Amino acid sequence: MFIGGAWTGAADGRTRDIHNPSTNERIATAADGSARDAEKAIAFARSAFDSGPWPRMRAQERAAFLLKIADLIDTHAAELATTETRNNGKPLREARYDVADAANCFRYYAGLASKPLGQTFEVPDPAMQTMVVREPIGVCGQIIPWNYPLLMAAWKLAPGLAAGNCCILKPAEATPLTAVRLFELIAEAGLPAGAAQLLLGPGPEAGHALAASPLVDKIAFTGGTVTGRAIIAAATGNLKKITLELGGKSPCIVFADADQDIALEFAMFAAFAGQGEVCSAGSRLLVEKKIASRFLPRLAEATAKIAVGDGLDELTEMGPLITPQHMERVLGYIAAGKAEGAELLCGGHRLTEGALARGNFVAPTIFASTRPEMRIIREEIFGPVLSVQLFEDEADAIRIANDTPYGLAGGVFTGDGAKGLRVLRALRAGITWLNSYHPTFNEAPWGGYKQSGWGRELGTWGLDEYLETKQININLAPAKPGWFRSAGQPAASDS
């Protein structure tokens, strides 16, 4: 862990083995912190914010540090990508995109840090000058998931630091390695002690301590909805600010007038990129009935040919699931789909051929003939499982798409641009695409409706989440207000 500007183990000496999900071999041993370690990090961050240099620096100075971090990420990009793949399992080509995006995130917020953040007003009283300034919130706990370890660290740290906060990052227990390497680069960049700290440990201990502490002013969390609710409950003690980016059960809608070849590959990309371990995955495929008999067999045939393997193999198109426990959870959903009567079009089993037997590999799976009440339709699986739903027309597609407690993302494929825009406008989701799926940009807000979370990350919205708003009123012509008669007597002379 990196606490108070120094590297340290857990207070009680506890450690955790870190594994490669492609082989389940141990690749590292990490400190495994507890509430005691969280309290130590919080104390350092509190002191650094209340009396340290970081919040008091000029925005241009903070920006220079962020730019240096971005440059260091670029310098070590190949190493970071390989480490990400070994720890998370995702194909190396995906990890390379993540590393580049992480560097660009730091650059984006470095550029945004010094841009106008305040306002002045002409108010009815000519003697008053009123202005609004934006100030850092304070100590920010940032809890990130295991599916995008480096990128989620950048999404949290870059805006938090740009705004002048002191941040405590807690990565997922299974995937701390690129976060550790990132903090080595942050230390090399020379950030003041306490401005950014790395806390390792399990969520119920270290994460809960961050959420519950009265010394922490904000929690930013990306992960599951159940954990999000627990964070809300823990954070009520001091009513701290909360940003939550939670789960999804997002629709990918294919109309009959869409380019079928384009829609087919995007349907696969939406569902199986990142092994389906993506909060915005298009895990529900809505297909217009009139093309289902032609579209679905082609989709199943192409999906069955996805190259599944070790992420370090350049030919791999889909890697393993993160842990054996999560693999069993996903296989449990596949069993539930079969038991509830869904039609299995492809996949539906663990892959154990040859070297795959050592890892957490599940064949990309597609279910058809589903019903709305099925678990594979209602619940977030977070794995390579795609559930098909058929629709009659535009209104039916919208109804089915919105029939979910989540509202994170959605994609529409059609040759009719006006129809596509109508459907996108009707979707109750925060991130949408027309004739595309998954591309995201640091410049645009990320977040969802309904039970997919609170607030937004990225873009100017992401910076806003790390700033307080203060009104300042200046009396340009000081005079007594004349409100109280008893205060109307002149002051006695000192002479």
In contact, 96 and 151? CB cutoff 8 Å: no
Catalytic residues: 245, 279
Give residue 316's Cα distance to chain centre.
25
252: helix, strand or coil:
strand
Neighbours of 91 (CB within 10 A): 25
For the stretch 9-12, contacts whose Cβ atoms lie closer than 8 Å and that sit 24 or more positions apart, written own/partner, are 10/34, 10/37, 10/200, 10/201, 11/36, 11/37, 11/40, 12/36
Neighbours of 227 (CB within 10 A): 21
44: which residues sit within 8 A by CB, 6+ positions away? 3, 4, 193, 194, 197
Pairwise CA distance, residues 284 & 3, whole Å:
42
The per-residue b/e assignment along 2-39, b for 16 or more CB within 10 angstroms, e otherwise, is bbbeeeeebbeebebebbbbbbeeeebebbbbbbebbb
Pairwise CA distance, residues 319 & 315, whole Å:
11
Pairwise CA distance, residues 263 & 284, whole Å:
14
For residue 428, give the nearest of 445, 450, 446, 411 by alpha carbon.
450
DSSP string for residues in 281-340: ---EEEEEHHHHHHHHHHHHHHHHT--BS-TTSTT-SB---S-HHHHHHHHHHHHHHHHT
